[in-house]
Amino acid sequence: MKKLVVSAFALALISFTSVQAQTASQATADHSAHQEAVAQKTTKADQKEKVAVKTEDLPEGIQKTIKSDDFKGWTVKKAFLVTEPDKAQYYELQVANGKENALVKLDKEGRNVG
């Protein structure tokens, strides 16, 4: 009889522990989902803005730079005006030379910024 009572007590204790673990696990999952939603909102607010620009519409300083000897053999495939969260702006150019690709960041004067 004593063994039966001890076994029943152990089973009840295990069941209680299991229920508590499931409740804690669910609370952790809910908290994680909330944190992820907050992080996504923050990320969107902090993201930089990229606007496509036609190569022929790039500022004169950049036009001179991409026609210089430094860019000889390279072709601008895509260009973007990038505005950082702090409102700083630069142009991001995706350039190619044969099978070689590169990403170049220039200010409106055509100077390398990154």
Task: Phi first, then psi: give them for residue 93, nearest 5 degrees.
Answer: -115, 130
pLDDT at 1: 62
Cβ partners under 8 Å of residue 112, min gap 6: 104, 105, 106
pLDDT at 42: 44
N-to-C CA span, the chain: 79
- Mean pLDDT, contiguous 10-residue spans, the chain (114 residues): 55 54 52 54 66 95 93 94 93 95 95 90
pLDDT at 92: 97
Is residue 97 a contact partner of residue 75, using CB atoms and an 8 Å limit?
yes
CA 49 to chain centre: 12
CA geometry: angle at 102 spanning 101 and 104, to 5°? Answer: 150
pLDDT at 41: 46
Quote the pTM value: 0.59
pLDDT at 17: 53
Q: What is the largest CA-CA distance in the chain?
A: 95
CA geometry: angle at 93 spanning 88 and 99, to 5°? Answer: 155
pLDDT at 61: 95
